Amino acid sequence: MRGEAIVVTGIGMRTAVGQHAQQSCASVRAGLNRFMIWPHFGVDGGGLTASWTRPDLGERAWSEKLVELLPQPLTEALWSARLFDLPINLPHSRSEARVQMFLGTPPLDRPGPSPEELQEFTETLKEDLFQEGAVRLEFIHMEHASGLVGVARACEVLQQGSADICFVGAADSLLDSVLLQSLLEAGRLKVPGVSSGIIPGEAAAFLVLERESMARRRGVSARLRIDAVGGWRETIPGHHKAP
């Protein structure tokens, strides 16, 4: 990655094992988990083991849950980066920072919410998370790769100079009965007789990225420096070719 160095100045996280980034990371290092029986989905031969952040969210579709899961880690990331208000006035300048968000969400064709619910989800995020026009929002629907792709896109626009600060976030919840049923039928859930299945859960996280010079102008410390971002698309699952 060429050009000016890109740094991370803010981190926020909400997981089943932590109310914030520091607690979540400490719990992971300690080997803690909150695996419990999910009460909203029955499985023949035993209950479904799962891990969740807020039991009151229940079995709603991910598009509804994300509206509830995103604000806390975003606020944490903003405060840790000393971004207390938007729009941001640059120091020693009358201009306002150009801010862009890259948000990773589940793929749109995944079982669950309807197209109408997804449209409502998009409009709600734009209205509730930020004041009108304060942040340009771009969605990335690439499942597990969404966060990495978001970081790569943020580095690109920051180095191009088309944004001054970027928020990169990702959130998901597999605890939706429609989705769980499809995973169960595909043999992908960890249930009695399927030891290799997944344990469903939910979480959300955010990073604040900016150019190193911008961080210095704002008087904030870099938590880490991004030297390069690499990705590779596997065309045939399970079949690896040399790049």
Residue bearing tokens 């400490």 = 26
Question: H or E segment at 154?
Answer: helix 146-160
pLDDT at position 241 is 43
CATH code of the domain made up of 6-226: 3.40.47.10
What is the pTM assigned to this prediction? 0.88
Supply 178's token pair.
Answer: 């429609």
> How far, in Å, CA of 51 to CA of 54, rounded?
10
Give the Cα separation of 135 and 78 in Å (integer): 13
- β-bridge mates for residue 173, sequence order: 202
Write out the two tokens for 163. 């944004």
CB atoms within 10 A of CB 126: 14
Query: How long a stretch of residues is the chain?
Result: 243
Q: Is 143 left (phi over 0), alpha (psi -120 to 50) or beta?
A: left
Residue-range domain boundaries for the chain? 6-226
Distance CA 119, CA 112 (A): 14
What is the spatial distance between Cα 147 and Cα 205, in angstroms, rounded to a whole number? 9
Return the pLDDT at 87. 67
Tens digit of each residue's pLDDT, the chain (243 residues): 567 899 999 999 999 999 999 999 999 999 999 999 998 888 886 789 999 998 888 888 888 898 899 999 999 999 999 998 776 776 666 567 789 999 998 888 888 777 788 788 888 877 766 666 678 889 998 878 899 999 999 999 999 999 999 999 999 999 998 899 999 999 999 988 888 999 999 999 999 999 999 999 999 999 999 988 887 766 665 544 443
Measure the CA–CA gap between 40 and 63, rounded to whole angstroms: 18
